[in-house]
Amino acid sequence: MQSRPETIRLFTAIELNDAARQQLVCASHWFEARVAAGRFMPPENLHLTLNFLGETAADRISDIQAALAAAASGCQPFSLELGEPGCFPRGHNTLLWMGLKQMPQELVKLYHASEKALAAIGFPAEKRRYSPHLTFARSVSFSRPFWELKAEYLRELAAGKDLQAPERQTWPAAAVWPVAELVLFLSSRLCGCQIYTPLFRAKLGDIV
């Protein structure tokens, strides 16, 4: 009998720097304190997904690395900034995410370049339009409507930046973070916990 090839679950993403991660963790804690229930992601798991490859034969790794390296080399580094929170319905529950303040052209180019390079080696392109988001909680249920929480969050965020009101909770300053690589991640589970391990870093603008 032929044994089935070993498969691993893969996706590509952009990592956050420390300041942006701190900003997102602060937002995540804010929502965690105000929802009825939800699984909030540990800080180290926060990321901006580009391509979801799913279950993949482990022996495809070198092809994938070459495809991502070629795609990233033709794109220039850029900067990102966290924007406003949003939610997607997922079954009976909701997924909470943070959006981006702007959608840089270089991010769009990187998304299309990596998608095309992966499609050329057999990973079908997403049918849905790319909607950049950083998931920070899954299986969320609310005791108040999301739009109400979001409005309150944005008000408090603005007030937190107000130096005239130092007694308010202080939010980390809005972080613009530089992006210089696209990372291939392995997604695995250990003792019921989701672990994301970087396998390969494709440098942007790294023309050889």
Q: Which residues bind ligand 2AM (CB under 6 A)?
A: 11, 49, 52, 135, 187
Q: Decide whether 54 or 178 has the Cβ nearer to ligand 2AM.
A: 54
Q: Which amino acid is at 31?
A: F
Q: Angle of helix 146-160 relative to helix 18-32, nearest 10 degrees?
A: 130
Yes or no: say if 187 and 15 are a contact pair by the CB < 8 Å rule: no
Measured distance CA(57)–CA(63) in Å, rounded? 11
Yes or no: say if 160 and 171 are a contact pair by the CB < 8 Å rule: yes
Yes or no: say if 100 and 146 are a contact pair by the CB < 8 Å rule: no
Q: Decide whether 79 or 135 has the Cβ nearer to ligand 2AM.
A: 135
Measured distance CA(79)–CA(9) in Å, rounded? 28
| Residue 11 CB, nearest approach to ligand 2AM (Å) | 4
| Residue 167 CB, nearest approach to ligand 2AM (Å) | 36
Q: Go through the chain and tell me how many residues it has.
A: 208
Q: Decide whether 164 or 189 has the Cβ nearer to ligand 2AM.
A: 189
| Residue 3 CB, nearest approach to ligand 2AM (Å) | 26
| Residue 51 CB, nearest approach to ligand 2AM (Å) | 8
Q: Decide whether 76 or 135 has the Cβ nearer to ligand 2AM.
A: 135
